[in-house]
Amino acid sequence: MVNQIVNKIENAPFILEMVETTSNLYRLGWDERNGGNISYLLSEEDITPFLDVTKTIRNIPMDFDGSALIGKYFLVTGSGKYFKNVQKAPSENLGIIRVAADGKSVDLLWGLENGAVPTSELPSHFMSHIARLSVNPNNRIVMHCHATHLLAMTFTHDLDECLFTRTLWQMCTECLVVFPDGVGIVPWLIPGTNEIGIATSEKMKETRLVVWPHHGIYGAGETMDETFGLIETAEKAAQVYTIVRSQGEVLQTITDEQLKMLGERFGVTPKSGYLNL
Ligand code: 13P
Ligand code: ZN
CA of 268 to the centre of ligand 2 (A): 30
Cβ-proximal residues to 114 (8 Å cutoff; 6+ apart), any chain: 92
Which residues, in sequence order, are bridge partners of residue 218? 144, 210
CA of 247 to the centre of ligand 1 (A): 34
C-beta separation of 235 from 150 below 8 A:
yes
Q: Report whether residue 34 contacts ligand 1, using a CB cutoff of 6 Å.
A: yes
- Give catalytic status of residue 92 as yes or no: no
Ligand nearest to the CA of 95: 1
C-beta separation of 183 from 212 below 8 A:
no
215 is in an annotated binding site: yes
Q: Report whether residue 29 contacts ligand 1, using a CB cutoff of 6 Å.
A: no
Cβ-proximal residues to 274 (8 Å cutoff; 6+ apart), any chain: 162, 165, 166, 169, 182
On whether the pTM is more than 0.95, the answer is yes
Pocket test for ligand 1, best of 121, 143, 195 (most atoms within 8 A of CB): 121
By C-alpha distance, which of 66, 61, 56 is closest to 103?
Answer: 66
CA distance 83 to 7: 25
Helices and strands (H and E) in the chain: how many: 11, 9
CA of 39 to the centre of ligand 2 (A): 13
Residue 6 has a pLDDT of 75
Residue 5 has a pLDDT of 74
Which atom in ligand 1 lies closest to the alpha carbon of residue 120?
3
CA distance 153 to 74: 32
Characterize 199-216 residue by residue with b for buried, 16 or more Cβ atoms within 10 angstroms of its Cβ, and e for exposed: bbbebbeebbbbbbeebb
Mean pLDDT over each residue of the chain, to the nearest integer: 97
157 is in an annotated binding site: no
Domains of the chain: 1-119 (3.40.225.10), 120-267 (3.40.225.10)
Q: Report whether residue 167 contacts ligand 1, using a CB cutoff of 6 Å.
A: no
C-beta separation of 59 from 105 below 8 A:
yes
pLDDT digits (tens, 9 = 90+) for 181-205: 999 999 999 999 999 999 999 999 9
Residue 2 has a pLDDT of 47
Q: Report whether residue 121 contacts ligand 1, using a CB cutoff of 6 Å.
A: yes
Q: Report whether residue 270 contacts ligand 1, using a CB cutoff of 6 Å.
A: no
Residues of the chain with pLDDT under 70: 1-4
238 by DSSP, 3-state: which?
helix
Residue 1 has a pLDDT of 45
